[in-house]
Structure 1
Amino acid sequence: MRSEPARVGAEHFEALDRMRVEQGSHLSDEPWTPMDDALAELRERNGYARFDQEERHSSPPKRSRFPILHVDDLEIGADPVWLIDGLLPATGFGVIFGAPKSGKSFLLADALFHAAMGRAWAGREVMQGAVVYITGEGVEGFKRRLIAMRRHYEVEGRRVPFLLIPVAPDLGHASGDDLALIEDVRSYLASIGNPPIRAIAIDTLARTMKGADENAAKDMTTFVDNCERIGTAFGCIVLGVHHAGKDVAKGSRGSNALDGAVDVMWSVEKGEVCSTATIHHMKDAEAGATWQFRLLPTVLREGGAALQSATAAVVEIATLPGEAQHPAAKRNKPLPDRARLLLDVLTFAIGEMGEAVKGDSNVPHDLRSVARENLKRYLELRGYWDELITPAVNRANLSRDLKTLQARGIIGATATWLWLR
């Protein structure tokens, strides 16, 4: 009975390769030799895949640690610039800050929910995709907010890719939670068809510091570095919700390292009727745009003797983001006093009685408008209507001032409705 030949180890192939090199048959332009046949037969018999000898004996190209790009080789990339046009960039790191109960979390969640739906927000186009919202506090309340939003925007059952993580990672230390978060998010995205991820929100920044000192530049830099790794992994923007300092105008609470690292920063201030959002900082565009919003309470479940009621709130945009004022605009002739007063009255009226108008294609659907008849209630109340002149003159002044505001692009108007641009 013929015995099977003994298996040959890898070290024997090394010796054969050396012999082949000595014969010169490793060169690609040399003819195939008997040594090649012997080597191929041994490899096949012993389970080793045949591979190209030229690749085996050639050195891999050296990769440069610091790539050098010539100025003439640079091109403008085709990557998207904005997640929400002019308000949130598509990539980078940002912060939304404000005092407690100012509505900053409501505002950010509403903006990102529109991105997940692919609907314009506050009059601005969005880039549609998946959103991950991380909150480690008030989880049950935040769940109610999301339920209220999906009902309010009539998208229940449509699988809008807005994802909630109810556990705060440790991003204030080099704990590895950033990498674990990336892995878990990738795994879940794969289970729902890998939609592109557009934003990751961290609410709140302080909750994810896990004992690190937000006033220390070193600890805040660690937080920012972790966020940037997460954003780079998905090619999206990472947004932190943070508290304001003692003076909102001076920025967010904690180390200045945070302000220096952001690509975008919103501030939110609570008012009696509406809260005001302002682009406090924008790295690659102009800051200063402001807009107003308010929270509308909504009942999710009626209560009874054996069942507690459930309520939440949804965001309603009262005025659209105004463009930052350019130096040239500042030199323009200011509004006449009465037109300025009328603008203040109109802003107040929209804040109290404005509504979203449906069924009229001439009126923007994503902001609040006030009926002309309702505006008249505030003209005397807010001091615009002059009792010393006739009603006809008052009406003429009103018509003139409305035309002034409309001509300057400050307001929009139809025969029935008025709104702020």
Structure 2
Amino acid sequence: MNKVVRDRLAHLKGQVRSAREAQADLDPNYLIKGWLMGGATSVIYGPSNVGKTFLALKIAQAVASGTDWFGCKTRRQHVLYAAAEGGRAFENRVAALRAAEFDWITHPFDFHANAIDAQVLAHLYNEMNPNPAPGLIIIDTLARVMAAGDENSSVDMGLLIRNVDTLARMTGAHVMLIHHTGKDTALGARGHSSLRAAIDTEIELSRDEESGVISVMSRKQRDIGMGRDAYYSLAEVHLGTDPDGDAVTTCIVAEAEAQEPVVKDKRRPLKGHQQVAHQALLDALRDHGQKRSGPDFPGKPVVHVDHWREACKLHGLLNNPKSKDGGRNAYKRAKEWLMNSDYVRSYQDYWWVC
């Protein structure tokens, strides 16, 4: 056994512990309880214009000030927001927070080809951090710090991950990346899958187009339980007026309630005799509906077929003088169509709507 192997073996022996020595960690090192752990890495991703930067700014302010984030406890730590996509628009967003307590810098960092930038940013953070405990560094966005790299390349993504790890290791801070989804949002964050494998926390943002409410969903947690969600909308903030007298505005995050999912009706649309028969059944249920007991009844009002038939007569579908059979075949076909198209159900001559 050569000296290098002996030294390595001696080092490893010193780290072996008995399982009997293990003790529960009852004081987790969190930044946002249930969402972000200290010293870890995370990605927040979503489609364009979903408000990723606005949410990241809310995270930055919550951790820097020690205030609750969507009802979750935080631990007050130093925060540095590295806005690689910065500019006047970003500064307006910071100003809208009113007395924000974190630090920020706008600079085109390169975490792909230039390994120095991660080290320089780490030294900058350490010099600025007045607290003994490490805090949070937000990188906005991954695409900008990827520079000339290819997000879909395992080699290029590996270089970026290595620089993120360097930044986290040198500072002890939680490093958060702001990222985008690809063309197919169902596939998650854009780029090579090695990113998801490497990070500790993954948070997805998606917008409900009808309500405008944005969902914040925990998609991966290495050391925390899953299943947490939060919801917000973007509220406009008036910052002042420009030299022409026009309003200057931006947005901030406003907490919102969860939206009930809208289930789209995939059934074929009603028309003609089917629509008449369906309306006749609704009228019959209104006038004669009753609940019947039994496992095969739906637990809501049902009506006997005779009442439905009478309602069809009132609507002109049956006893139709213009039809040779008085509309009987039209009524039969409409009833079958409604059944096959999941508009109605029946049991023992009693009918109800789906």
When residues 304 and 169 of structure 1 are mapped into structure 2, their CA distance, relative to the original with a 3 A threshold, is: closer
Residue 126 of structure 2 aligns to a residue in which SS? Answer: helix
Please give the residue correspondences for 1:161-310 in structure 2 after superposition, counting only pairs within 5 Å: 161-189=101-129, 193-194=130-131, 196-272=133-209, 273-303=212-242, 305=244, 309-310=247-248
Please say if 1:126 is aligned against 2:74.
Answer: yes
Structure 2 CA distance for aligned equivalents of residues 310 and 86 of structure 1 = 36
Identity %: 27
Structure 1 CA distance for aligned equivalents of residues 151 and 184 of structure 2 = 17
Q: Is the 8 A contact 1:266 1:281 kept in 2?
A: yes
Structure 1 CA distance for aligned equivalents of residues 196 and 110 of structure 2 = 20
Deviation at 1:308, TM superposition (A): 5.3
State the partner residue of 2:91. 143
Residue by residue over 1:358-382, the C-alpha shift from the partner in whole angstroms, topping out at 9 and shown as x without a partner, is xxxxxxxxxxxxxxxxxxxxxxxxx
Q: Is the 8 A contact 1:129 1:161 kept in 2?
A: no
Please give the residue correspondences for 1:48-127 in structure 2 after superposition, counting only pairs within 5 Å: 65-66=11-12, 67-71=14-18, 72-76=20-24, 80-127=28-75
Residue 97 of structure 2 aligns to a residue in which SS? Answer: helix
Q: Is the 8 A contact 1:281 1:288 kept in 2?
A: no
Deviation at 1:280, TM superposition (A): 1.3
Structure 1 CA distance for aligned equivalents of residues 220 and 171 of structure 2 = 24
Residue by residue over 1:314-348, the C-alpha shift from the partner in whole angstroms, topping out at 9 and shown as x without a partner, is 1011037xxxxxxxxxxxxxxxxxxxxxx849xxx
When residues 284 and 196 of structure 1 are mapped into structure 2, their CA distance, relative to the original with a 3 A threshold, is: closer
Size of the aligned set, in residue pairs, is: 254
Residue by residue over 1:369-421, the C-alpha shift from the partner in whole angstroms, topping out at 9 and shown as x without a partner, is xxxxxxxxxxxxxxxxxxx79xxxxxxxxxxxxxxxxxxxxxxxxxxxxxxxx
Structure 2 CA distance for aligned equivalents of residues 231 and 77 of structure 1 = 22
Structure 2 CA distance for aligned equivalents of residues 138 and 91 of structure 1 = 25
Residue 255 of structure 1 aligns to a residue in which SS? Answer: coil
Deviation at 1:250, TM superposition (A): 2.0
Structure 2 CA distance for aligned equivalents of residues 168 and 79 of structure 1 = 37
For 2:257, give the aligned amino acid.
T
Q: Is the 8 A contact 1:269 1:277 kept in 2?
A: yes
Residue 165 of structure 1 aligns to a residue in which SS? Answer: strand
When residues 250 and 287 of structure 1 are mapped into structure 2, their CA distance, relative to the original with a 3 A threshold, is: farther
For 1:314, give the aligned amino acid.
I
Structure 2 CA distance for aligned equivalents of residues 182 and 138 of structure 1 = 19
Structure 2 CA distance for aligned equivalents of residues 107 and 296 of structure 1 = 12
RMSD of aligned alpha carbons: 2.7
Question: TM-score, normalised to structure 2's length?
Answer: 0.65
Deviation at 1:312, TM superposition (A): 1.2
Structure 1 CA distance for aligned equivalents of residues 102 and 233 of structure 2 = 22
Please give the residue correspondences for 1:23-42 in structure 2 after superposition, counting only pairs within 5 Å: none
Structure 1 CA distance for aligned equivalents of residues 141 and 197 of structure 2 = 19
For 1:144, give the aligned amino acid.
N
When residues 68 and 134 of structure 1 are mapped into structure 2, their CA distance, relative to the original with a 3 A threshold, is: same
State the partner residue of 1:29. none
Please give the residue correspondences for 1:386-405 in structure 2 after superposition, counting only pairs within 5 Å: none
Structure 1 CA distance for aligned equivalents of residues 61 and 240 of structure 2 = 22
Structure 1 CA distance for aligned equivalents of residues 11 and 109 of structure 2 = 31
Question: TM-score, normalised to structure 1's length?
Answer: 0.55
Deviation at 1:173, TM superposition (A): 2.8
